[in-house]
């Protein structure tokens, strides 16, 4: 009896489970997040992806007023991403999972998979490339870097060379020899990790001109123009040409740069023919200012402690020089050490502005590296045409002083001297200014010397007061007098001189009238005993 009772109970329970199971299969969910209708299933690597928001349907497939939102996003490696209002930034290629929710319906979620791709080719940047060469030189293949969201694959890159006749050039150990004058072409194909391809085409100018020792730019002949490009910021505001009408000395011509529009400096970038500047004491060139106003000429330097702008007189040739031992910068203002110079930037500005005036023209002669003639005890060479490379200026000196090398007035035994002339700023009304001269970039070895003197001559009809700020010494130079002024080199390895009119009450002294001239020779010392 007991067994029959238990059997009846089991039958009833089984029947109940059967009925419940049948009912569950037939019951449809009340609501559904309709991810099947989403069409945006692919995104781009590194670009913000905005997830589409699906509709919420009822059990009959009709749209409801409920709103779905993004609950989470997981990348291909299972990492959860930051999501703001359905937007997220994918940082890897692969399958991403988006989970949606309806905040007003507890437990209702749905997942959607999307794919993140990289379809954008890499950006090629030249890291090293020879752009100018002499005939029969051996040239190294250029090198590149790649900027890409999925990463560059430089190992897959291929670079080929064609000569001026379009014939492929043989490359051995990443080097080739240029055997024809003219334009060679570099072709490169580079790839990113996703397989996207980018191409680049670059040029190498090969010249059959006679190589001149120490010549950095051959601007006195047509080939030199190929060494020069416009600084990127000034494209369209200037034009360049080679001409032979205006030239210096025995040079055959000069590069002409005209300012034609815009408010900017004149700027040129020169691909140099000599890369090791350590073999030189200075670099320099003759410059003709064909405008009616004085201008400043300077290079881009990575260490512009005091500036290197040299004032060039209007309608005159001026020798512009810089210390070859200092670091220079390229058109992109990146550092170049002096033993591996690739480019040299030269800029021109009006005296009063950060730009050059329209309808002005400037002429550049050959750029050469050189060494000073031997003077054992001389460490600042204002007696030499390149002495301007050892002038450190300040803003006032830019505006009111003009430095010119000349050979008529000089100390006995020296080649020439630096003429300092107080000039009026074209846009100002001042009638006088303080003279200022900073002696820096002293030549190597001066530490072994002492009792330094510098030759100064006063050609004016009035006395001039000279003050050395390093030791606070003062001297008054009478009209027509020349002296060897003893100076102290400061702890900053410089000598700073101020020039004024003497005053009866002492003190700093009055400013010099415009037109005042001062001649300065070399800084010399005596060997320590």
CA angle, 304 then 306 then 311, to 5°: 100
Confidence class for position 408, pLDDT limits 50, 70, 90: very high
State residue 351's pLDDT score.
72
Say whether 224 sits in a helix, a strand or coil.
helix
Cβ-based neighbours of 79, under 8 Å, separated by 6 or more: none
What is the per-residue pLDDT across 288-313, written as a single tens digit (0 to 9) for each? Answer: 999 998 888 887 653 444 455 778 88
Q: What mean pLDDT comes out for the span 440-469? A: 93
Cβ-based neighbours of 78, under 8 Å, separated by 6 or more: none
State residue 426's pLDDT score.
63
Compute how many other C-beta atoms are within 10 angstroms of the C-beta atom of residue 303.
11
State residue 507's pLDDT score.
53
| C-alpha to C-alpha distance for 460 and 393, rounded to whole angstroms | 23
What residues are paired with 497 via a beta bridge? 437, 468
Cβ-based neighbours of 454, under 8 Å, separated by 6 or more: 380, 382, 439, 484, 485, 487, 495, 520, 521, 522, 523, 524
Task: Compute the mean pLDDT over every residue in the chain, rounded to the nearest whole number.
Answer: 87
| Closest to 233 measured CA to CA, from 260, 266, 255 | 266
What residues are paired with 94 via a beta bridge? 116
Least confident span in 13-27, 57-71, 145-159, 172-186:
13-27
User: Is pTM beyond 0.85 here?
Assistant: no
Q: What mean pLDDT comes out for the span 65-88? A: 96
DSSP 301: B
> Checking DSSP bridges between strand 254-259 and strand 417-422, what pairing results, if any?
unpaired
Highest-confidence range of 77-81, 228-232, 324-328, by mean pLDDT? 77-81
Confidence class for position 9, pLDDT limits 50, 70, 90: very low
Q: What mean pLDDT comes out for the span 236-263? A: 95
Cβ-based neighbours of 181, under 8 Å, separated by 6 or more: 135, 164, 206, 207, 208
| C-alpha to C-alpha distance for 293 and 313, rounded to whole angstroms | 7
Kindly list the structural domains of the chain, giving each domain's residue range(s) and its CATH number in brackets, ordered by start: 31-117 (2.60.40.1930), 120-208 (2.60.40.1220), 221-371 (2.60.120.260), 378-527 (2.60.120)
């Amino acid at each position: 009896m007991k067994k029959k009772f238990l059997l009846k109970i089991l039958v009833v329970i089984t029947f109940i489970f059967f009925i419940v199971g049948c009912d569950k299969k037939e019951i449809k969910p009340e609501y559904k997040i309709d991810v099947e209708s989403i069409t945006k299933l692919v995104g781009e690597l590194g670009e913000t992806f905005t997830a589409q928001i699906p509709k919420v349907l009822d059990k009959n497939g009709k749209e409801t007023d409920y709103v779905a939102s993004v609950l989470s996003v997981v990348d291909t490696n299972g990492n959860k991403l930051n999501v703001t209002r359905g937007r997220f930034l994918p940082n890897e290629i692969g399958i991403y999972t988006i989970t949606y929710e309806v905040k007003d319906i507890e437990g209702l979620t749905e997942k959607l998979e999307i794919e993140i791709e990289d379809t954008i080719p890499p950006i090629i940047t030249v890291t090293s490339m020879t752009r100018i060469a002499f005939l029969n030189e051996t040239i190294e293949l250029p090198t590149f870097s790649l900027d890409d969201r999925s990463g560059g694959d430089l190992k897959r890159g291929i670079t080929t060379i064609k000569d001026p006749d379009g014939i492929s050039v043989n490359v051995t150990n990443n080097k080739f020899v240029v055997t024809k004058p003219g334009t060679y072409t570099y072709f490169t194909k580079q790839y990113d990790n996703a397989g996207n391809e980018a191409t680049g085409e670059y040029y190498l100018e090969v010249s059959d001109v006679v190589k001149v020792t120490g010549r950095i730019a051959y601007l006195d002949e047509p080939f030199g123009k190929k060494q020069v490009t416009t600084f990127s910021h000034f494209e369209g505001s200037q034009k360049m040409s080679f001409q032979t009408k205006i030239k210096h000395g025995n040079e055959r011509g000069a590069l002409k740069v005209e300012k034609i529009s815009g408010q900017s400096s004149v700027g040129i970038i020169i691909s140099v023919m000599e890369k090791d500047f350590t073999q030189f004491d200075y670099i320099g060139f003759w410059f003709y200012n064909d405008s009616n106003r004085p201008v400043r000429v300077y290079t881009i330097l990575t260490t512009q402690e005091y500036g290197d702008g040299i004032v060039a007189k209007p309608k005159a040739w001026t020798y512009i020089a810089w210390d070859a031992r200092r670091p220079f910068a390229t058109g992109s203002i990146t550092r170049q050490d002096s033993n591996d110079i690739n480019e040299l930037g030269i800029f021109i500005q009006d005296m009063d502005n950060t730009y050059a005036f329209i309808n002005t023209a400037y002429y550049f002669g050959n750029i050469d590296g050189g060494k000073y003639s031997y003077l054992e005890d001389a460490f600042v060479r204002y007696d030499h045409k390149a002495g301007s490379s050892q002038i450190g200026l300040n803003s006032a000196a830019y505006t009111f002083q003009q430095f010119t090398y000349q050979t008529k007035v000089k100390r006995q035994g020296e080649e020439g001297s630096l003429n300092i002339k107080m000039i009026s700023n074209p846009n100002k009304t001042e009638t006088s200014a303080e003279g200022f001269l900073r002696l820096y970039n002293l030549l190597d070895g001066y530490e072994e010397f002492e009792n330094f003197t510098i030759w100064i001559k006063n050609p004016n009809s009035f006395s001039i007061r000279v003050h050395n700020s390093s030791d606070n010494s003062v001297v008054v130079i009478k009209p027509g007098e020349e002296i060897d002024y003893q100076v102290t080199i400061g702890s900053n390895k410089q000598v700073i001189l101020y020039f004024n009119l003497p005053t009866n009450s002492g003190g700093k002294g009055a400013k010099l009238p415009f037109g005042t001239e001062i001649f300065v020779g070399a800084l010399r010392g005596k060997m320590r005993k």
